[in-house]
Chain A
């Protein structure tokens, strides 16, 4: 049932190369989920997210100082090692400093025909961010038009919005099923859905999601559900860790707060006459990355709502080593969860997760939760 999504994720490069051959279209690599994919789909460009490879590497040391997160170095390594040699363009929407370095070094050392830095505003809680982002989207659209040689009409933008919105809606509908006593999909399967959506033509992805949505409610789940967990924090595409928690430790992730998870698709573009303003509003209003979650910490309430709605019993808080934005939020998040009696386990991720020690810590965490039930 999930094999297709898993294959798309694992064979992302083959997929993108094949897509290019099939369609003759351009492929752009994006570094952050604040990139407005709607405009790229409107231009018939395939956006694929540049993620790491989870393999030790030795190519980024001359380019990125070692105190920056392993994720940004892993992403840059993919570029330097030509894993994404099929890309026609790269783009980033302003978020954290670390990932920005991966983008700028890639831009310098692996030049492609189109490279665009979109200054996505940080002060999304200010009204001023809306017209500003719109003005930046006008420029981004013009740059994409110049690159592709195609003028984007309102109809094109409507089509782009609908493609991406449909994907968001379907993912959300599937995630809704995870609220059940026995969720019809595991955290790992949910992970494959979102990750594959970031690197697949969403029109094909939507078709597969619809078929899955038809089948899922009747799916018979053989495994024990165990503890209902949430996972949140920095970028996370660590499949072995998720697999270990669910298959070996016997718990189930029922929800997440990651940019590789719900933060990516939770909010839709609400249609407006002014299409670019509608797109801008979506990115201003989306569940924020910690880099943009100030002066109020809106994400904390969002996380608490998810905990309640998905009846989460414990939360695993993961952070890419050296990830400052998340490090700045984690004490507040842990405290707020403690205040509502939800236990947390903090784990620091690197390019590869140490599964042995992590297994011991997760099992201890689950055991602690079970003791609460006993006494």
Chain B
């Protein structure tokens, strides 16, 4: 057996990431016992806003919750079938069906039944976002709901009017929160949460940028367990602090040449959510010395980037780094909205060419050899324009492999066929299993 090309070692913060995640789900479940509030909404919802209701407010974000169920094959099957039996179409968002199923079968993956929320705080950019929670409210016999439309157009066209539209909704939303909970609203807590959000999402972008080097210090399968914290609680100090620590560890791995995949020789990126029940695809790639170093999804679902002076992508400079002091609710909301509108994963909703430009940038800056596109039947929002992205990447000279599947419904994933496609893709790049140059 040939000697491994690069040293590897486990992430020291792996256990802490797991612990934060576990505590998150348990805190939500147990919030009422501690006299706190529970709310539900999407991973993109403005979670800094309900933070103004107090420090005893816990949330459950929908997409990571769906992914958590998807990873549990038995529960996933039960939930999907329950949603279908209730009359919901099988081709709808898989996370959404898993989520509804969890209510219908009254099971929570962390023990007990589905913990009924006190209110819904959602955002809306894909067709399903707000409708998802209309159904949650239906199934639970009526839950107060507020949702914020963020589909004001791509960031390159941002105007004060677009920001105002979203800020005005958030101001309306704060009145909704006060009325629904009967609580006073604390602007200082909001401002603190906005700062946390800017810090955590900028730092996550910085962590992703560390993967530009060869060998990559992180592989995408590992990154899934790390980026997820921002999808749960991006406005919390705990997550922002964790990412600060993680950045230091990843920088240290880069300095010492620690690789995620010891025989890295092919660098790839994926696209959209992976088929959660089949993350073994990434382990299979390792047999070829292939590593997926990330994707628009892993980087830009929560990470906030900007173009730096040298023309490359880097973490967006936070308001705090710019010396901006946030003093009022209005200012905090405006900063948060502008910050979120620049989210990479929000741009392609308006035109595939915007995503293709970012993908080509990643392919160049992260030194990629090819791209694996997951044609994800489970998410129309992240699959929109994906066929045009394929054409754009090919035009830019990057080999592309596609595979069809579903992030949350394993009945729509063909494992054998997918692995066969990987084999063919590797062969087309002249890479052989177990042969490392």
A256 to B276 Cα, complex, angstroms: 42
CB contact between A294 and one of B124, B126, B383 (< 8 Å): that residue: B124
A136 to B399 Cα, complex, angstroms: 39
Closest residue of chain B to A60 (Cβ to Cβ) is: B387
Interface flag for B152 (CB, 8 Å): yes
Closest residue of chain A to B390 (Cβ to Cβ) is: A62
- Tell whether A329 pairs with B131 under 8 Å between CB atoms, given A63-B388, A94-B151, A122-B124: yes
Interface flag for B375 (CB, 8 Å): yes
Shortest CB-to-CB span from A352 to chain B, Å, is 19
- Tell whether A126 pairs with B172 under 8 Å between CB atoms, given A327-B88, A331-B86, A331-B87: yes
A67 to B405 Cα, complex, angstroms: 11
A62 to B381 Cα, complex, angstroms: 18
Interface flag for B74 (CB, 8 Å): no
Interface flag for A2 (CB, 8 Å): no
A98 to B151 Cα, complex, angstroms: 15
Q: Are B149 and A121 in contact (CB under 8 A)?
A: yes
Closest residue of chain B to A319 (Cβ to Cβ) is: B89
Interface flag for B107 (CB, 8 Å): no
Query: How would residues 374 to 386 of chain B score, 1 for a CB under 8 Å from any chain A CB and 0 otherwise?
Result: 0101001101111
Closest residue of chain A to B137 (Cβ to Cβ) is: A295
Interface flag for B418 (CB, 8 Å): no
Size of the chain A interface, CB-CB below 8 angstroms: 47
Q: Which of A73-121 contact B (CB under 8 A)?
A: 94, 96-98, 100-101, 104-105, 107-108, 117, 119, 121
CB contact between A119 and one of B147, B152, B381 (< 8 Å): that residue: B152
A97 to B92 Cα, complex, angstroms: 13
Q: Are A67 and B88 in contact (CB under 8 A)?
A: no
Q: Are A128 and B169 in contact (CB under 8 A)?
A: yes
Q: Which of B8-16, B324-332, B348-356 forms contacts with chain A?
A: B348-356
Q: Are A135 and B161 in contact (CB under 8 A)?
A: yes
Interface flag for A290 (CB, 8 Å): yes
- Tell whether A295 pairs with B147 under 8 Å between CB atoms, given A65-B387, A128-B172: yes
Q: Are B151 and A119 in contact (CB under 8 A)?
A: yes
What residues of A have a CB within 8 angstroms of the CB of B152 in the complex?
A: 119, 121, 132
- Tell whether A297 pairs with B134 under 8 Å between CB atoms, given A117-B350, A324-B127, A327-B89: yes
Interface flag for B95 (CB, 8 Å): no
Interface flag for B73 (CB, 8 Å): no
What residues of A have a CB within 8 angstroms of the CB of B350 in the complex?
A: 100, 104, 117, 119
Q: Are A295 and B352 in contact (CB under 8 A)?
A: no
What residues of B have a CB within 8 angstroms of the CB of A330 in the complex?
A: 87, 89
Query: How would residues 217 to 239 of chain A score, 1 for a CB under 8 Å from any chain B CB and 0 otherwise?
Result: 00000000000000000000000
Size of the chain B interface, CB-CB below 8 angstroms: 53
Query: How would residues 89 to 120 of chain B score, 1 for a CB under 8 Å from any chain A CB and 0 otherwise?
Result: 10111000000000000000000000000000
Q: Are A98 and B380 in contact (CB under 8 A)?
A: yes
- Tell whether A295 pairs with B375 under 8 Å between CB atoms, given A65-B383, A108-B388: no
A122 to B130 Cα, complex, angstroms: 10
Q: Are B165 and A63 in contact (CB under 8 A)?
A: no
What residues of B have a CB within 8 angstroms of the CB of A98 in the complex?
A: 380
Closest residue of chain A to B378 (Cβ to Cβ) is: A67
Shortest CB-to-CB span from A249 to chain B, Å, is 25
Q: Are B384 and A67 in contact (CB under 8 A)?
A: no
Interface flag for A332 (CB, 8 Å): yes
A245 to B330 Cα, complex, angstroms: 56
Shortest CB-to-CB span from B389 to chain A, Å, is 10
Interface flag for B77 (CB, 8 Å): no
Interface flag for A313 (CB, 8 Å): no
Q: Are A97 and B131 in contact (CB under 8 A)?
A: no
Interface flag for B128 (CB, 8 Å): yes
A101 to B132 Cα, complex, angstroms: 22
- Tell whether A332 pairs with B138 under 8 Å between CB atoms, given A63-B387, A108-B388, A132-B162: yes
Q: Which of B269-307 contact A (CB under 8 A)?
A: none
Most chain B beta-carbon neighbours within 10 Å: one of A117, A131, A132, A290: A132
What residues of A have a CB within 8 angstroms of the CB of B169 in the complex?
A: 123, 126, 128
CB contact between A101 and one of B126, B131, B385 (< 8 Å): that residue: B385
Interface flag for B78 (CB, 8 Å): no
Closest residue of chain A to B131 (Cβ to Cβ) is: A328
What residues of B have a CB within 8 angstroms of the CB of A121 in the complex?
A: 149, 151-152, 165
Q: Are A129 and B386 in contact (CB under 8 A)?
A: no
CB contact between B127 and one of A67, A117, A291 (< 8 Å): that residue: A291
What residues of A have a CB within 8 angstroms of the CB of B353 in the complex?
A: 104, 108
What residues of B have a CB within 8 angstroms of the CB of A129 in the complex?
A: 149, 165
Interface flag for A266 (CB, 8 Å): no
Shortest CB-to-CB span from A108 to chain B, Å, is 7
Closest residue of chain B to A328 (Cβ to Cβ) is: B131
Interface flag for B391 (CB, 8 Å): yes
Interface flag for A322 (CB, 8 Å): yes
Query: How would residues 255 to 296 of chain A score, 1 for a CB under 8 Å from any chain B CB and 0 otherwise?
Result: 000000000000000000000000000000000001100110
Interface flag for A147 (CB, 8 Å): no
Q: Are A127 and B168 in contact (CB under 8 A)?
A: yes
Q: Are B351 and A117 in contact (CB under 8 A)?
A: yes
Interface flag for A68 (CB, 8 Å): yes
Shortest CB-to-CB span from A101 to chain B, Å, is 6
What residues of A have a CB within 8 angstroms of the CB of B93 in the complex?
A: 324
A263 to B145 Cα, complex, angstroms: 26
Q: Are B172 and A132 in contact (CB under 8 A)?
A: no
Interface flag for B148 (CB, 8 Å): yes
Interface flag for B65 (CB, 8 Å): no
Shortest CB-to-CB span from B93 to chain A, Å, is 7
Q: Which of B148-205 contact A (CB under 8 A)?
A: 148-149, 151-153, 159, 161-162, 164-166, 168-169, 172
Q: Are B134 and A328 in contact (CB under 8 A)?
A: yes
Q: Are B130 and A295 in contact (CB under 8 A)?
A: yes
A117 to B91 Cα, complex, angstroms: 27
- Tell whether A97 pairs with B352 under 8 Å between CB atoms, given A132-B162, A135-B161, A328-B92: no
What residues of A have a CB within 8 angstroms of the CB of B130 in the complex?
A: 122, 294-295
Shortest CB-to-CB span from B266 to chain A, Å, is 25
Closest residue of chain A to B132 (Cβ to Cβ) is: A328
What residues of B have a CB within 8 angstroms of the CB of A107 in the complex?
A: 351
Interface flag for B346 (CB, 8 Å): no
A132 to B386 Cα, complex, angstroms: 30
- Tell whether A67 pairs with B383 under 8 Å between CB atoms, given A329-B131, A331-B88: yes
**Listed A/B pairs (30) with beta-carbon separation below 8 Å:** A62-B390, A63-B391, A67-B375, A68-B380, A96-B127, A97-B381, A104-B385, A107-B351, A108-B352, A119-B152, A121-B149, A122-B124, A122-B149, A126-B149, A131-B161, A131-B165, A290-B131, A294-B147, A295-B137, A295-B145, A295-B147, A321-B91, A324-B127, A324-B380, A327-B88, A331-B88, A331-B135, A332-B134, A332-B135, A332-B138
Rank and list the top 4 A-B pairs by shortest CB-CB distance, nearest first. Answer: A123-B149, A132-B165, A128-B168, A135-B161
Other CB < 8 Å A-B pairs besides A101-B352, A132-B164, 10 of them? A62-B390, A68-B380, A97-B380, A97-B381, A97-B384, A100-B350, A117-B350, A117-B351, A122-B149, A331-B87
